[in-house]
Structure formats: structure tokens, C-alpha cells
Structure 1
Amino acid sequence: MANLAVLRIKREFKEVMKSNECHIKIEVANDNWTELRGEIGGPPETPYEGGNFILEIKLPETYPFNPPKVRFITRIWHPNISSVTGAICLDILKNKWAAGMTMRTVLMSLQALLAAAEPDNPQDAVVAYQYKEKYDLFLLTAKHWTNAYAGGPHNLPDCDSKTKRLIDMGIDEHKARSVLSKENWNLENATECLFH
């Protein structure tokens, strides 16, 4: 990687490390300045509150003139983030990137996205549909995923017991949770979907 890019990344790294705002962190992965691990805290008064979300950040050779490639490692239920791959639909990570933006900008923007979803421009159509048509179920599901995958504080015994019922039938835990989420926590529909 070009020296200019490495110097820029090191400066940005310090900027994020000094920042105490809104629970954002960054660290080098694999002793390689082009592979970073980010962490953002779930924003207050959202279903993600209390969760810690880990991000994979890969910087191209042409950074900062091209955006970093970022995806969620921590599973999350959000219209603009794939519940399967962690891919993110956010304009600054694509065509709205500017060389003046920094990793701090990226992390803060992702945190803002958690607080203000854009369901009309989804990455995950199933989640976006639930967000728009069954918002209470979306909130329940997002809280449950935050609890299950991001160490959130939510206590949702109904979701936990339905997930456990499917696990007891021999279904993988994530698959059970995923199908229940897509079937709006209807155990009968989820079971039919899995076994037929």
C-alpha cells in the first residue's frame, strides 16, 4: 500500500482512538493497516441500544480516494444491512464517498444509520418489508437479534423459547432465529417453512 495511504490511515486511527463519543472503536486486524476491525455501540432509544457491533473494514490501495469496503460481522436485523452477509447499503460507502471523509466519519455514519433506517433503499428486502408493514414485529426482532448477537440487554422470553423449540427439533440456532424472524415469530409457519 502506498506510504501516503498508510500515513493517512494511521492519522485517522489516532483520531478515532482519541474520540470518546458515541462508543466507536477501531483496531488493526492481522498486523495489516489495510484490514481494520471497527466497533460501534447501538444508539440510545433504538432496538440496537446496549449492543456492540463488530465491523470488517478493508481499505483499497487507492484509499482515501476510494471508499473502504465495510460489512457487519455481528449479525443485525436492519433494512439497510443484509441479515445474511452483513453487506451495507449506505451512499458514502459507494457513490457519495469523498477523499476528505475519514474512518471516524464512516463509523459515525453507520451508527446514525442504526438510528435512522432508510427502508425505501433497502439492502435486505425482508427486513425492510417488516419495518414498513409490521413495525412492532420489526422492533421485537431487532431487539432479539441485538440481544442474541451483540450482547444487548433485552429480555425477550417469547422469542427465546420459540428459538429453543426449533433448536430442540435439530435446527441450527441461527437458522432457527432467522426463519422465525422472517415468519414474524409465528412458530407454526417457521416450522412448516423448515420441514416442508
Structure 2
Amino acid sequence: MALNKRIQIDVTKLIMSEYNLELINNKLNHFRLRIIGPKDSPYENGEWTINVQLPTDYPYKSPSIGFVNRIYHPNIDFSSGSVCLNVLNQTWTPVYELSNIFETFLPQLLLYPNPNDPLNKEAAKLLQTNPKEFNKKARRITRRYATCYTPSFCKKSTKDHDTEVSDLSEDEESGVDQWSDLDL
């Protein structure tokens, strides 16, 4: 089935922009792109690969997005990378473009987590009870896992994220090491 014109336009805009985008199987309706964590957040300078799948009835139906590499955030499932974001799940409108997701919606979600609507209940509880400790843990996990999942896809980072792994506690290590066994 031929892709709709809106998919072609929105994906072409992303390809022409600053995003590092990789088409999956040379199809415009399935791709991965890289985002950088926003300044002044525990995710600052982290690099995440986001998997995006567009339904054939896009933009009338919202895209499916998920983090490929781990992130510690109340509204993002630690195991699957699924994102709980109302604008994607309930209030999506054809007025939005794909660029809105990566320029506005995801950066805002990373800057202002909502612990009242969690996918990661442990992160939500820590954010509510001890925000300072939440930020500390989110930064540690960002340093450990927020590098591009597919190195050939990502631009070289100026940081060596692996040098700071030693500051994860034993509990955090056991909670996040399981991802290395997943076939993403």
C-alpha cells in the first residue's frame, strides 16, 4: 500500500533537519532517530535512539514511539521503552507534525516528568518522595545507558559514557543490566 503524502512530507522534514535518522527497511513509516537530553535536566547530554512507527492513517492516528535504550523516567517504561504521553495517546490531532514530538513533546516530558501518571512506578515514587535522589539516579542511568543503541547509526559522541558506570550502586546495576540480554 502506498504511503500517504503527509507521511512523506513529515518524514522528509525530519530527514532534512538536524536529526540523525535511519529508515528501517528503507520505509518512511518505520525509522529510528537520535535525540539528546535537554539542558538543565538529569538527562542532559544523554543520547537516546527513538523507534518510530507510523500507522497508514497518520496523521489521523498518532505515531507509535519508544525509547530503544534505557531511561529512568516516571512516564517511560524501563523495560520496554514505551512512552506515556497524553498528546500521543489521547489528545493527538492531525495538526501536529512529527517534528513536534521531537522538538517539543519529548523534551518537555524529560524536563517535566509527571509522577501522577506513571509507567515506571518506582521512578514516580522516588520523584515524589525524594526528588534529589531521583535526579541523582536518573543522571547515573543516563550516563550508563543514554548512548546510541546502534553505534554505526549515531554520530560519535565527545563523551565516553562508559567511564562513569562505576558510580552505579549494586542495586542499580542489577536493575539495569538485564537490558544487555535483550534483543532490541
Structure 2 unmatched runs, 5+: 148-158, 180-184
Instruction: State the superposition RMSD in angstroms.
Output: 2.7
Q: Which residue of 1 aligns with 2:66?
A: 71
Could you report, residue by residue, the CA deviation over 1:67-100 in whole angstroms, capped at 9, with x for unpaired residues?
A: 0111111100001101111111101211101112
Contact 1:38–1:107 (Cα < 8 Å) also in 2: no
1:120 aligns with 2:77: no
The whole-number CA distance in structure 1 between the counterparts of 2:127 and 2:31 is: 31
1:159 aligns with 2:167: yes
Cα distance 1:77–1:128, how it changes in 2: closer, same or farther (>3 A)? same
Structure 2 counterparts to residues 37-186 of structure 1, below 5 A: 37-108=32-103, 109-151=105-147, 159-160=167-168, 162-163=169-170, 174-175=177-178
Deviation at 1:26, TM superposition (A): 3.1
Percent of counterpart pairs with the same letter? 27
Aligned residues: 167
Q: Which has the higher helix share?
A: 1
Could you report, residue by residue, the CA deviation over 1:19-60 in whole angstroms, capped at 9, with x for unpaired residues?
A: 44xxx4433112122211122110001110111111111111
TM-score by length of 1: 0.74
The whole-number CA distance in structure 1 between the counterparts of 2:144 and 2:62 is: 30
Larger Rg, first or second structure (1 or 2)? 1
The whole-number CA distance in structure 2 between the counterparts of 1:166 and 1:57 is: 28
Q: Which residue identity is paired with 2:177?
A: H
SS of alignment partner, residue 136 of structure 2: helix
Structure 1 unmatched runs, 5+: 177-196
TM-score by length of 2: 0.79
